[in-house]
Amino acid sequence: MKKMSVALTMAMIAFAFGYNTANAGSLTVEAGPIWNNNDAKNKCPNVCKGKNAKWTGHWWTTVWGKMSVCQCEGISITFKASKGDGKCPSGYVLATAGDARANQQKACKALGTWYIARLAGGGSMDGPGYKCKIRDKDRRGMGHSLCKKGNPPVSPPVKWVGASGGSVPSNALKGGMEHPPGKQTLYVCRAQFKGGTHPGKVRSAFRGCNIGWGGREHAVRNYQVLLNNPSFRWVRASNGAIPKGAVKGGMEHPPGKQTLYVCRAQFKGGTHPGKVRAAFRGCNIGWGGGEHAVRNYEVLVKK
């Protein structure tokens, strides 16, 4: 998709809605995502072009009295000012990005080109090497920020939370379903056992994280539960294959401290989280007191 400066985009919208932009000075930008994207696209039909365009909603400028400016993820926005605007020194402009009602980020942004990037959740911290913020308290689970040109969008880190006795924290990743009995949800967990850390499954009736090891199923009372992450995807694989971006769930020791990845497989009418590495030739799960290697499975991947 071709890059488009915010000035050109604003001019397009101003022309369509009859706004005069001739006297605009330094640019103060506030982002307010539109959550009804279909409605937004109807109002701004010509801005997002190309089959890979991702809609971000409206961006407003205080310079033009809350005039709506349509933008798309990946399109550039350029800040221009000849001198300081009173709130920021010369060479900078004050920008506010985020939901207008919560999670706002205000900062003096250096003049130049920045990208509008979608943020997939996250925590209030800078991503490593990135000049954009991540927000984890956005109730809608979606947000956008300004990232310096050349930096990729930021996604939140993988997070495991300690638990015990079958407890499952809120926002735990649903990894499958136990059937029978009664189609109970299974969550992704991991537990330390025999010198290693092994991904497995948990629900309250288990009273622990159930893992497969040494041909048997073991319930470990103290464990960690994987939290959901909007960057997660399940990718099909087989015969021990590990797709790019696979989520590391632990380590097999012995032999040789081999990395274990989070997988899930269909077995006996259910879908069960487990562990995989190349030597297994399948996704290893615990079920019915035993350990089972399932040749065709899915691997958890972080995009």
Which portions of the chain are predicted below pLDDT 50? 1-84, 96-105, 112-153
Q: Clarify whether residues 198 and 109 are in a common domain.
A: no
Q: Clarify whether residues 76 and 183 are in a common domain.
A: no
How many domains in the chain?
Answer: 2
Domain, as residue range, for 119: 6-148
Beta partners for residue 115, in sequence order: 76, 147
Name the strand (E) or helix (H) holding 77: strand 76-79
pTM of the predicted structure, to 2 decimals? 0.54
Beta strands 92-97 and 29-32: pairing type? parallel
Assign 41 to helix, strand or coil: helix
Beta partners for residue 96, in sequence order: 30, 106
Q: Clarify whether residues 285 and 202 are in a common domain.
A: yes
Q: Clarify whether residues 142 and 100 are in a common domain.
A: yes
Q: Clarify whether residues 136 and 174 are in a common domain.
A: no
Q: Clarify whether residues 120 and 209 are in a common domain.
A: no
**Cis, peptide link before residue 181, omega less than 30° from 0:** yes
pLDDT in tens, 199-248: 999 998 888 999 999 999 999 999 999 999 888 999 999 999 999 999 99
With b for 16 or more beta-carbon neighbours within 10 A and e for fewer, the 48-81 pattern comes to beeeeebbbbbbbbebbeebbbbbbbbbbbbbeb
Residue with tokens 């319930």: 219
Q: Clarify whether residues 119 and 201 are in a common domain.
A: no
Closest C-alpha to 165, from 197, 206, 210, 224: 206
Domain boundary residue, one of 94, 118, 148? 148
Q: Clarify whether residues 166 and 286 are in a common domain.
A: yes
Domain boundary residue, one of 126, 148, 170? 148
